[in-house]
Chains A and B, each alone.
Chain A
């Protein structure tokens, strides 16, 4: 039985943020002709093709620069990280390896892939969401928090 945490529920800001993400992904394919998959854009820098470094670097600089633009207008929203350093390292290794092996992450498969109705991305999205649900269940309710 699922109990909804109504105090944490923020449907409006979530939807507005989602629309901005969709606008960015849409603008990127329509202007630069590229899929806005963050793991692919970052991973592609490890062995870049010709003329590849500038747009990849610029996109990532925009993402990393977003908080700097934000704080001109408002205080940054909470970014709470509860994971310990060993867990962060393990998680980073898994995310890096997994997104390269599976050709994408939440943005590439979850947003762009589903937006272009790719069955392959639908499978990937269901699998990583399922693995995410299962992992949090085990970490929080079987092992009792990490």
Chain B
């Protein structure tokens, strides 16, 4: 069992949070990312609000082995700052700055019926699939056992 109901409810609250915060609006996101224009600092408050609550939850989670629904708690184990992390984060940041969409807000905007969000989401999934294909091949070429730890 993977408790799809709590996953659905969580996704719903997450999406509502993105709508309330303004994160689901690419123009608002770009207003935050535009330090040289008239700057809208609002999204910093989104991060602070989310992390303050998140700190409590993840502190509890780190002390537990199973969740309140009896699921294993799976926290990322990677600690290394490697080239993949650096290059991946930079590429993501460029894409984020180009359109103002990151993955969560794009899905919410898709749900709101935005055609632009549909275009972005399709391209995003293609980008993900391209990575999995390409990266898997590199990993196999380098070492047959590598590439197994990808989430």
Q: Determine how close the nearest CB of chain B comes to the CB of A58; give it in whole angstroms.
A: 4
Contact with A along B120-151 (1 / 0, CB 8 A): 11111111111110010000000000000011
Chain B residue at minimum C-beta to C-beta distance from A101: B88
Q: Is the CB of B92 within 8 A of A27?
A: no
Q: Do B130 and A94 touch across chains, with their CB atoms under 8 A apart?
A: no
- What is the number of residues of chain B that contact chain A, defined by CB distance less than 8 Å? 123
Q: Is the interface of B mostly helix, strand, loop or mixed?
A: helix
> What is the predominant secondary structure among interface residues of chain A facing chain B?
helix
B94 contacts across to A, CB distance below 8 A: 94, 98, 131-132, 134-135
In the bound complex, CA of A112 to CA of B126 (Å): 25
Instruction: Select A29's contact among B21, B67, B92, beta carbons within 8 Å.
Output: B67
Q: Which of A22, A62, A129 contacts B7 (CB 8 A)?
A: A62
B14: contacting residue among A33, A63, A117, A127, CB under 8 A: A63
Which B residues, 1 to 54, have Cβ-Cβ distances below 8 Å to chain A?
Answer: 1-28, 30-31, 33-54
Docked CA distance A130–B150 (Å): 25
List 21 A-B residue pairs with CB atoms under 8 Å apart, sorted by A's residue number: A18-B48, A24-B11, A30-B67, A31-B67, A35-B75, A39-B103, A43-B132, A46-B129, A54-B7, A62-B13, A65-B15, A83-B99, A88-B116, A94-B127, A95-B102, A102-B88, A102-B91, A116-B58, A131-B91, A133-B97, A135-B93
